Structure 1
């Protein structure tokens, strides 16, 4: 069924983006054929709206949340195309936050006209919504104005990120140095290529009656026939975190995870000699995200499946992982031997810490 409204508009600071913003965007996208999003703020009248996360950075976080496997497909929420614009005082003449309602409404009206953009409805969660829509001459749709579904605001998050981390996507939370609370303890397995992580995770999940999360980077690597780009590495970390969150609701007592964002960051440096700051931030909070970290020793027979690098790299990869864990101050346990021996080592360690029944 074709949405009754052709183009929707959402305007906000998104400072930072939170689950309430996502509810607003996703509700709007379900009712329009295309959604436009304007990200801006001007609290001081000089310089960027935020030194640490200015509008272009916040807009890029939103773009990352709604990109798919292939960047060439553009941004979408479901099947609805999404266009996100970052406006600044320097480039676009954004009015001060303290300016009156008319000034803000007229600024948006003129900006849209200057871009040749027409909208059919404005979606907001704020009291200013009806008057704003009337000024633009379009319909207004209110979304959770009472904050009943997602009781959070940007101000609350800025004032106390840790207290409201549950209302943040893992990618955004990491930029603030916090981690959303987990439903169950997460146990992550790291290791060089062909070090037995996937096999061990599957065996442990079966032995412990729970679920595990495969390495999403491997999934996308195969899906794209090995042609991963630099931008894919942050996407891999984001999707892997989302898959963990989804699996956590099905886990029993513990969730086993194959690889984390820190290893993804290593691969970003290895293949592209650089790493997106947002991915760096996700790597930096891995010590908080996972209750326990195990490293698989590269002592099992190497299996070349057509997707891995040469066996000679295993020792180097293993050393880099250990160096990174030491750098972040993340304690870990090295596991080796047969699959059965490794399962026994992990179970004994978790039982000793009360994470699994004896």
Structure 2
């Protein structure tokens, strides 16, 4: 039975984890209405809008409000408490009947709201995790994170290159390499190139009308490429939500901008906007040298491979994307790529320190 009218959960959610979600669900079950107030400081590196969106997605049955709170906390200073309360009550002006926390300051916070204090698992026995621990080592805390947070924190690596330069082979080998590490890494995902699937469907549709059709008979329009880019992004997002702290992509929506040049000529602003909406962390450019061209029925551009390699290199450089080139044998390419990915993972997602707090 719900005992309270309007409940409040307040926190940074930097980032939200299983302990936060347990607190929210517990409060929701005990209140007629629940408000979750997300408080973010300007110095913190995860935007307030992202945290609000994550909480709303996981808890669609509560009201989620966000506010900027740039006041350092001092639990022993009444004036500091007053300043914080001015921020809190401006964001949540309605009467609050119960304040739910897992923190020692819960009693004072509730008193200042004129509400009942409800402590929920203050020892963190049900979910032994904290925001500090997640920020320090997201991979170790991966199972305490919900899909939208995993998608935001996963390091996304793109393998791209001209036709028949081993992009698929390398991307699959990388995914397999990291799966073999076991644990959370066993869930490492690979995202296939949607453009190839799209091309296969185009050729099949043409052959249904003209059985003798070949790849050179297939035509593309500029409108095909935004669809390819959007679908690639959506599949990456789904894989990042379900996978490990690293994701390997066989090309991406950025690569689609160059493929548009290859098949149509010129640029398509819609494709470029789509490419800019997703964050990747490292691009691996497969060189065409020392890789024999194989015509698998969907390729006809052996002579264009040097041009494609140059265009990828030029656009990666122009747009400021972090990339390395991989050359040599299959083994050498994999070793080079693994070293680059390991270096990326060693840095991890960077979180700026929250405001200091005195207790």
Give me the TM-score of the superposition, normalised by structure 2.
0.49
Q: Give 1 or 2 for the bigger CA radius of gyration.
A: 2
Specify which structure has the bigger relative contact order, considering alpha-carbon pairs within 8 angstroms and separated by 6 or more residues. 2
